[in-house]
Structure 1
Amino acid sequence: MLQKIYDWVDERLDITPLWRDVADHEVPEHVNPAHHFSAFVYCFGGLTFFITVIQILSGMFLTMYYTPDIINAYQSVYYLQNEVAFGVIVRGMHHWGASLVIVMMFLHTLRVFFQGAYKKPRELNWVVGVLIFMVMMGLGFTGYLLPWDMKALFATKVGLQIAEAVPLIGPMTKTLLSGHPEIIGAQTLTRFFAIHVFFLPAALLGLMGAHFLMIRKQGISGPL
């Protein structure tokens, strides 16, 4: 049955060359752990992508129950954790994954830096990777406020004060994020939710697409 469906789709869209091109792509020997123990350091990028996929899927599940307003936000998170089947597991995956993805990305960045993989002809891909790192940090910061508890409130207050300390654009950046120059309230939560769910994920997907295309074009960097 599945073969018939595949053949029907393939006849119309010719998808076989697409996935065969991915499946048959040769990987350099130096990234094969069976031949080189040091090849494990090349896994950090793939692990980062895998955790990112988990973050996206778990985040989509969380948005089905989350209410982005100051009256119901905390209660919606409480309901998700205590009433929804497997809700506490999914939220736990999203919570810990937010930290783990930063760790994996940091290790991946260290590997690229110490192996000189940012040098010609991969300078642009390095810049894109740094931008992805910044977007991930932004996702972590904006997502921290969403449970709307005291820890999230005070942590966000500190983060906004740090943003305000940036020369020239600091006060404007703080107001843009919080919606008010002094108060963390309904506007702040709404803006953080919109940035976390719409703006930053769109930027992340675009940057990751560019990152993978350049890796495909230039190949995996050589050994140290």
Structure 2
Amino acid sequence: MLNKLFDWVDERLDVTPLWADIADHEVPEHVNPAHHFSAFVYCFGGLTFFIVVIQVLSGMFLTMYYVPDIINAWNSVFYLQNEVAFGQIVRGMHHWGASLVIVMMFLHTLRVFFQGAYKKPRELNWIVGVLIFFVMLALGLTGYLLPWDMKALFATKVTIQIIEATPLLGPYLKTLIAGHPEIVGAQTLTRFFAIHVFFLPAALFGLLAAHFIMIRRQGISGPL
């Protein structure tokens, strides 16, 4: 069945050369765990991407039930957690995945740094990777407010106070993010939701595409 579907698509779009280029791409011997135990450190990047995929899919499921306003936000999370089939599992995956993806990105960054993989000709890819790291941190920060419970509310107030302390631009950034110069309320929740669901994922997908293209062009860095 899958072969027939592939043949049908290939006849119209000629995807065989593209698929062959991806599937037949050789992986260097030093990243094969069967040959070198130390090659496991090269798995951190792939594991990070795998968790990102889980975050995206689980997040899509959560947005089907989440209501981004201060009246219904907490109630919608409670309903998802206790009434929706598998809702508790999917939310748990998204919750713990948000922490795990940061840990895996940190390990991946350490591997790249200590093996000197950020040096020429991979300087630009290192910069893109650091930007991805900051985007993931911002995703965790904006998602923290969305349940609209007391812990999330006070944590967001502290975050906004830190942003306000930015020299020169602090008050403007605070108003831009919070939606109000003094109150963390409905505008703040709506903006955090929009940033978390639309703006940051768009930036993440663009940066990931650039990251993978450069890895494919430059190849995987050599061993230490």
Could you say whether these structures have the same fold, taking a TM-score greater than 0.5 normalized by the shorter chain as the test?
Answer: yes
Tell me the TM-score normalized by structure 1: 0.99
- In 1, the alpha carbon distance for the partners of 2:5 and 2:113 equals 46
Deviation, 1:4, is 2.1
- Correspondence list, 1:11-30, <5 A: 11-30=11-30
- In 1, the alpha carbon distance for the partners of 2:110 and 2:116 equals 10
Which ranges in structure 1 are unaligned for 5 or more consecutive residues? none
Q: Is residue 2:6 matched to residue 1:35?
A: no
Which secondary structure does the structure 2 equivalent of 1:33 belong to?
Answer: coil
Deviation, 1:183, is 0.6
Quick one: which amino acid aligns to residue 136 of structure 1? M
Deviation, 1:93, is 0.2
Deviation, 1:5, is 2.1
Quick one: which amino acid aligns to residue 117 of structure 1? A
Percent identity of the aligned residues?
Answer: 85
- Once structures 1 and 2 are overlaid, which stretch shifts more, 118-127 or 7-16? 7-16
Runs of 4+ in 1 over 3 A off after TM superposition: none
- In 2, the alpha carbon distance for the partners of 1:118 and 1:75 equals 46
- Correspondence list, 1:98-117, <5 A: 98-117=98-117
Deviation, 1:164, is 1.1
Deviation, 1:34, is 0.7
- Correspondence list, 1:208-219, <5 A: 208-219=208-219
Query: What residue in structure 2 maps to residue 131 of structure 1?
Result: 131
Quick one: which amino acid aligns to residue 28 of structure 1? P
- Correspondence list, 1:42-121, <5 A: 42-121=42-121
Deviation, 1:6, is 1.7
- In 1, the alpha carbon distance for the partners of 2:168 and 2:26 equals 50
Quick one: which amino acid aligns to residue 35 of structure 2? H
- In 1, the alpha carbon distance for the partners of 2:25 and 2:58 equals 30
For these two proteins, the number of residue pairs brought into alignment is 224
Deviation, 1:40, is 0.6
Which secondary structure does the structure 2 equivalent of 1:65 belong to?
Answer: coil
- In 2, the alpha carbon distance for the partners of 1:197 and 1:51 equals 17
Q: Deviations over 1:35-90 (max 9, x none)?
A: 11110110100000000000000000000000000000000000001000000000
Q: Is residue 2:221 matched to residue 1:221?
A: yes
Quick one: which amino acid aligns to residue 157 of structure 2? K
Q: Is residue 2:8 matched to residue 1:8?
A: yes
- In 1, the alpha carbon distance for the partners of 2:186 and 2:15 equals 47
Deviation, 1:2, is 2.9
Query: What residue in structure 2 maps to residue 144 of structure 1?
Result: 144
- Correspondence list, 1:154-169, <5 A: 154-169=154-169
What value does the CA root-mean-square deviation take over the aligned residues?
0.7
- Correspondence list, 1:194-209, <5 A: 194-209=194-209
Deviation, 1:172, is 1.1
Quick one: which amino acid aligns to residue 131 of structure 1? L
- In 1, the alpha carbon distance for the partners of 2:161 and 2:64 equals 31
